[in-house]
Structures are given as C-alpha cells and as structure tokens.
Amino acid sequence: MRRAMSHLAMRLSLTIALVVFVTVLQAEVLKPPLGLDLHIPVPEANPLTREKILLGRRLFFDKKLSRDGSLSCASCHEPKHAFSDGRAVARGIHGAEGLRNTPALINRGYGSHFFLDGRASSLESQALEPILNPIELGLTQPELQQRTGLKATEVVAALATYVRTIRSGGSRFDRYSAGESRAVNQLEKEGMRIFRGKGRCNACHVGPNFTDEQFHNTGVAWRDGRFDDEGRFSVTRNPLDHGAFKTPTLREIARTAPYMHDGSIATLEQVINFYSDGGRQNPSLDAQIRPRNLTSEEQLALTAFLRTLTGRIQEGMR
C-alpha cells in the first residue's frame, strides 16, 4: 500500500514538474523584444511548442522544399535583409521572377492579413502557397510530403509556428519610448514629430508594428492610365480596393530596400519624396495620400527617424 502511494506521489510530482516546465518554456518563447506585445495571437488548433518551432525553422531553411533543390523559404526571406531579399521582385526556381516585392517576415505573428493583397487570413493559410507556386518553390503536395516525411498539415503548422517567432524590436526608438531619452538624437526626434505631425505617416503606420494591417492605394500601381496590379481588388472585387496594398511594417525599414509592392523605389529618401508629393494621382487614391510638401530638411529628419526602427531580430528559440 505504502509502495503504491509512493509510486503515485512520484508520478504526480513528475506530472507537476512537466506542467511547470512547459509553462516556463512557453513564457520564455513568448517573451518579446522591447516594444512588442507579450500576447501573440496563436490559433487554438496550432499551439506554440518547442518541437514545432525547431521543425519549422529546419523546414524554413531547407532547400528540399523547392523542386530543383536550389531554394528554401529563406532564399527570399533572408535573415540579413530582415527576412526580405533585397530584390525588386521575388525570384523563384529557374530564375523565374514574380510580380511583387518580397515582404519582410518580421512580426507577422501580430498580423491579421497575409500577402500584399491580404488573400490569406492566417499564417497557417499562407504557409503552403509559396511552396506550391510553380514560379516560387514549385513543389506539389505529394512531393512535399515525400521529401519531408511529413503531412502537409504538419509542415504548415511548423512553418507558421516558426514565422510567429520572427520578431523585431529593441530598436533605438523602443529604448527612447521606454524612457531612455538619449537613445535618439535631436534630428531623429524632429523626424518623429514630422512622422506624427506634418507628414501624417501615422495615418497608416500605427501601433507597435507601425502598420494598420489595412489596404491603401498610394498610386504606385497606376501606370499609363491603368493599374498594372489590381492588388486587394483581385481578392475582394470591391471597387474601392483597386490598386490597394497592405501597409507594410516600418520596423527594419532601413534593411528592406527596395520599397513598395513592386520594389519600384530604390531608397528610403525616394519613398519619402514620393509621399511628400502626394503619391501618384489615380481614380482610387487613398484619402490619406495627399501632398505634404515636406522640405528637404524635414525629409532628412524623417529618414533619420525611420532608421531608428532598426532593431534586434529574434527568431526560433533565440
């Protein structure tokens, strides 16, 4: 009887220890860099676990996920470019070029719409598409399962889990916001004032991740009297969405050139100049996009402020 009790007690303490371990692990994993929310929305069906993070990371960098074994997810979402690729438009297998710029994959765990046109509503629904796209990684679903030895749903769950861990924060802006007054200089503070004031940049670039997760027509896609990419309209068929694209995060913006949905603007200075002039006139131009007439000094200050958003990227278990 006593032996049975002792065995029961041991099992109980092992269970408690395991529960405590898992809880502590989750708390460590979830701990964000300075400036981001503790809470990351995680679907109930795909909880964040150490195993999935490690598996997802391995898959993310695995070139087996491309038809010719030449590319992985990380080929376009390179850590050194804040998980973008430095190209105007994405390049897939056999050198095939896509139509849009590779978005930086940082802080996507906080997002609510995925892809530049928002056609996916979760990281899970987004994860498989580039792998199966013939001009990106070009696999079929059976090939994916054969090469990884995993079901497609397991690949999706692991990749989505890993992408949730890719976070950028702890920038000089975040340190300044936390009370470190010398973290930004006078020019950068002036840029911050323009960002919120005359520039009205925060009409769209709001919150800890500097995006409203909404879709706006800035006129970039309007060329020769027509939209060369319909953007959000191709998903919603809503006439208000012609040529509209999702607001990107501004975190790590200095490391993610070239800019805009098609990578058509090479430098931050040119982007600021584009918006200062009121974007490109077209029938669906967003009401927030209008000439701000920033002086060259103001544009310089704004650029300086945007560079303070370069921070430290955490990913995986690190």
Partner 1 sequence: VFANRITFDLEIRDNLTGELQQLQAGSQQEGRTARAPVLSPDSSQVAYRWYTGSLAAEANNFRMSELRIASTKPGSKPRVLIPASPQNEYVQPAAWSRDGRLLARIWKNDGTVQIAWISVRDGSVSVLRSLWQRSPGRPTLSPDGKYIAYSALATESVRSINPAPEGNSHIYVLATNGGPETEVVGGNSSNEGPVWSADGNHILFSSNRKNGEFGLWSVPVREGKPGDPPELLKPGTGRLIPIGLTSSGSLYFANRQREGDEAFVIQFSEPDGKIYGPSSPLTENFVGTNRGVSWSPDGEFIAFKRERATKKGTFDVVVRNVASREERTYSTSLFEIGPEATNWFQDSKGLVQYDSAGTYYRLDLMSGEFRKIATGSSQLSYGTAAIPSPDNNVLYVTASDSAIKGLGFNRIVAFDLKAGLERSVFTSSEVFGTFALSPDGRTLAIMSANTGGGSKWINGRFLMQMGSPQPVRLSVVGIDGTGYRLLYGPFPILENPSSNALVWTRDGRSVLFGMSHPDRPLVTQVMRLSIQGGEPRYTGLDIRGPFHYVSLAPGNASIAFSETLQDRWRLSAVDNVFPSRKLP
- Residue 257 and residue 250: Cα distance in Å, rounded? 11
Q: Closer CB to partner 1, residue 1 or residue 287?
A: 287
Rounded least distance, CB 308 to partner 1, Å? 13
Q: Which is nearer to partner 1, 252 or 286 (CB)?
A: 286
Cβ closest to partner 1, residue 35 vs residue 103 = 35
- Of 122, 119, 82, nearest in space to 100 by CA: 119
CB of 69 to partner 1, least distance (A): 39
The rounded radius of gyration (Å) of the Cα atoms in the chain is 22
Nearer to partner 1 among residue 60 and residue 176 (C-beta): 176
Shortest approach of partner 1 to residue 147 CB, angstroms?
33
Q: Which two tokens stand for residue 110?
A: 């906080």
CA 126 to chain centre: 12
- Cα-Cα end-to-end distance for the chain: 47
Tokens found for residue 11: 């099992």
Structure tokens at 134: 């013939």
- φ/ψ of 11, rounded to 5, equals -60, -40
Q: Which is nearer to partner 1, 263 or 311 (CB)?
A: 311
Of 110, 54, 101, 57, the C-alpha closest to 81 is: 101
> Would you state the torsion angle of the CA atoms of residues 154, 155, 160, 166, taken in this order, to the nearest 10 degrees?
130
Min dist CB 261 to partner 1, Å, is 18
Cβ distance to partner 1 smaller for residue 133 or 202: 202
- Residue closer to partner 1, measured from CB, 41 or 69: 41
Return phi, psi of residue 84, to 5°: -120, -165
Q: How far is the CB of 38 from partner 1 (least distance, A)?
A: 3
- Helices 2-30, 50-60: inter-axial angle, 10-degree rounding: 40
b/e burial code for range 57-85 (CB count within 10 A of at least 16 → b): bebbeeeebbbeeebbbbbbbbeebbbbb
* Least separation in angstroms between CB 188 and partner 1: 13
Alpha carbon 51 to its chain centroid, in Å, reads 22
Q: Based on CB atoms, which residue is closest to partner 1, 135 or 235?
A: 235
Tell me the closest approach of the beta carbon of residue 117 to partner 1, in angstroms. Answer: 12
Residues 6+ apart with CB under 8 A from 303: 191, 268, 269, 272
Angle made by CA atoms 267, 80, 46, in degrees to the nearest 5: 115
List residues binding partner 1 (CB under 8 A).
26-27, 30, 32, 35-42, 44, 113, 118, 176-179, 192-193, 196, 202, 206-208, 212, 214-215
Q: How far is the CB of 39 from partner 1 (least distance, A)?
A: 4
